[in-house]
Structure 1
Amino acid sequence: MVTCKETRAVIIALHKKGFTGTDIAASKIAPKPTIYQVIKNFKESGSIVVKNASGRPRKSSKRQDRLLKLIQLRVRGTTSTELAQEWQQAGVSASALTVRRRLLEEGLVSRRAAKKPLLFRKNIRDRLIFCKRYRDWTAEDWGKVIFSEESPFRLFGASGKKLVRRRQGERYHQSCVMPTVKHPETIHVWGCFSAKGVGSLTILPKNTAMNKEWYQHILREQLLPTIQEQFGDEQCLFQHDGAPCHKAKVITKWLGEQNIDILGPWPGNSPDLNPIENLWSILKRRVDKQKPTNSDKLQALIMQEWAAISQDVAQKLIDIMPGWIAEVLKKKGQHYKYSLLPSTSCNCQ
């Protein structure tokens, strides 16, 4: 029952004059149940003041709540049931539901853990060194870089979750499931791109591992034509990560002989600094959407959709590089949500 003090005073004044609850309700000053409750409270307490209900006493003190928060922050993956058991050792007997409520009050929400490459101290230090070195680069500066990387494509291997709308009983309907196979066929590709658009893309032969011999072959047959086509005699930089075959002496020597300058040194475990990661995501979504059923169709779709990626998409991915660098510096070398930075709306569908 929620009534203001003035309304309760009027109800009691009318009651004292002999008006019944029904008579008072006829004036529509308040609902009939409320009027009867106000009169009842007045008869019991002799006052129009409504006492606050005591409710169920809280099971934990503020100090105990802070302790629960510290326990959770110490090991983020601890479940609410496990926390309830630890909390009990501190003298608080509470259910897992109560634990979740207390943590929500503290702003700790349960979410699926993000999957990111493990960053050791050296990785963090190298990321900071790299970002400080290029912190003043503009999108125009980054436009002179050719980014490259290898990536796997799996048949029936769409990554992430697939959302469907279904009726009751349709969970296993063919149109509502995402097909998987135990050992999906995997195709490995190498590609490169710059702000001028996508460059060459090559599919490695089946059961072929990338080694220094294959890598030199790819650089000669794929990278050199891309540099010539996109930059001609203009100065450009080439980016590749620190994979063993990339750092091989024969590769370093060959790149020097071709007068190809390298961006870097590139920090390890840092796919979030390479815009080609986003390009792979775009390509995989487009390919998965067409549901290839065999290896030949998968390869054909990879080449087809790669060629269909516009220069505008490539430019937008390069334009967000200064923002990524700033975010890593802001996070002191740690991971960040690199696909959705402010002021980088990129409609890359």
Structure 2
Amino acid sequence: MKNNQEITKKVRVQVLFQSGVKKPTRISKMTHIPLRSCERYVSNLKKGISLDRKPGSGGRNKLPPSKVKKVIIKSKEQKKPIQIDKIAKQTSVSKASVRRILNKEGITYKRLKGRYLNLAQKQKRVSFCQEMLKMNQIDQFIFIDETSFWLNKCRPYYGWYGDTVEKQCDLKFSQSKLYSTKLHVWGGISSRGTISLEIFTENMTKEIYKEILKKKRKQMEQLYPHGYRIIQDNDPKHRSKIVKQYIDKYIFSNSFLPPYSPDINPIELIWGLLKKQVSKDSPETIDEVKKSIRKYWRQLTPEIIQPYIKETNERYKWIINNQGEFYIK
């Protein structure tokens, strides 16, 4: 059933594409979206065209050669990854036009390869992937993680604004403390569903982390009464003595991801999905952010989550075959 609250097909395709899943056939299989639609979405993403619905329509005005040249010059001047917004402001050219010009110049939107991983880090990634495949129990894994939401980043880039509304919005946000306002969110996903979120404002400590595990343990056991394994990253708080003692005593089993390995943690894709959906609600207060986060988390059914987790096995194989490199496909 379609409604404004559902996690849209385009969002799911875009998150998978940005995480390295480039083949329309694979995306279609993971999301159950028709192959033709996936092919169209992927084609647009490869060209740097956003899948978001944009206001207005009609023909494009042809840019004068001087403007095109200026965009190219500005893009070559940048030493860091090119920022479309920055070039658009510097040249007074729309972001869509900047994207088209850069695409024609062979400059595309893509992920960087993991060039900064050293040999030891790559070997740890390979060993971890081999161990996970050997266990062959991915359906019993619970992937847990934390992320943060900043109020100022929970706003859409595009919208319908008249001059009066735009000025009111600018005034409202300039007077607020949104740039220093953020929420921390802890959650967990598995093939059988989600673990309820824990939302807090203080910085995570080992004591807070232990209390979260204590609070959520019952849910984990209800999902997997015969045993489960939690998968978490290498944050020092996760490896602290008091947390380790609690896990050893009460949690069935535990594994740590190798360093620099968000590409083999499916909950990272879910965080991306969640943040994109929350931004569409354009929350203006921290309470609205919380409400939006919880609303979309409740929509994450096992049917939505399972393809992301099953894809992880393919990533393990890819990383082993590519000697520990970042998953890019």
TM superposition score normalised by structure 2: 0.60
C-alpha offsets along residues 186-229 of structure 1, whole Å, 9 cap, x if unaligned? 1111001100011121001x2x111110010000002x022122
Distance 1:153 1:322, change over 3 A: same
Letter paired with 1:273: I
Q: Which residue number corresponds to residue 244 of structure 1?
A: 236
C-alpha offsets along residues 213-249 of structure 1, whole Å, 9 cap, x if unaligned? 0010000002x022122112x1210111110110011
2:311 to 302, 320, 338: 320
Asked if 1:225 is matched to 2:218, the reply is yes
Q: Which residue number corresponds to residue 133 of structure 2?
A: 135
Q: Which residue number corresponds to residue 294 of structure 2?
A: 303
**Offset at 1:116?**
7.6
Q: Which residue number corresponds to residue 114 of structure 1?
A: 111
Distance 1:261 1:137, change over 3 A: closer
Structure 1 unaligned residues grouped into runs of 5+: 1-77, 83-107, 342-349
1:135 aligns to what SS in structure 2?
helix
Whole-angstrom distance in 2 between the partners of 1:225 and 1:299: 23
Instruction: Give the number of equivalent residue pairs.
Output: 226
Whole-angstrom distance in 2 between the partners of 1:324 and 1:180: 41
Whole-angstrom distance in 1 between the partners of 2:138 and 2:157: 34
Is the 1:137–1:322 Cα contact (8 Å) retained in structure 2?
Answer: no
Distance 1:122 1:305, change over 3 A: same
Q: Which residue number corresponds to residue 257 of structure 1?
A: 249
C-alpha offsets along residues 61-82 of structure 1, whole Å, 9 cap, x if unaligned? xxxxxxxxxxxxxxxxx95999
Q: Which residue number corresponds to residue 186 of structure 2?
A: 190
Is the 2:150–2:179 Cα contact (8 Å) retained in structure 1?
Answer: no
**Offset at 1:314?**
1.3
TM superposition score normalised by structure 1: 0.56
Is the 2:151–2:284 Cα contact (8 Å) retained in structure 1?
Answer: yes
Which structure 2 residues correspond to residues 41-120 of structure 1 after superposition, within 5 A? 79=76, 109-112=106-109, 114=111, 118-120=116-118
Cα-Cα RMSD: 3.5
Structure of greater relative contact order (alpha carbons < 8 Å, 6+ residues apart): 2
Whole-angstrom distance in 2 between the partners of 1:142 and 1:211: 29
Asked if 1:214 is matched to 2:208, the reply is yes
2:117 aligns to what SS in structure 1?
coil
Give % identity: 22
Whole-angstrom distance in 2 between the partners of 1:297 and 1:242: 31
Asked if 1:277 is matched to 2:275, the reply is no
Q: Which residue number corresponds to residue 142 of structure 2?
A: 146
Whole-angstrom distance in 1 between the partners of 2:221 and 2:185: 21
Whole-angstrom distance in 1 between the partners of 2:233 and 2:113: 17
Is the 1:157–1:180 Cα contact (8 Å) retained in structure 2?
Answer: no
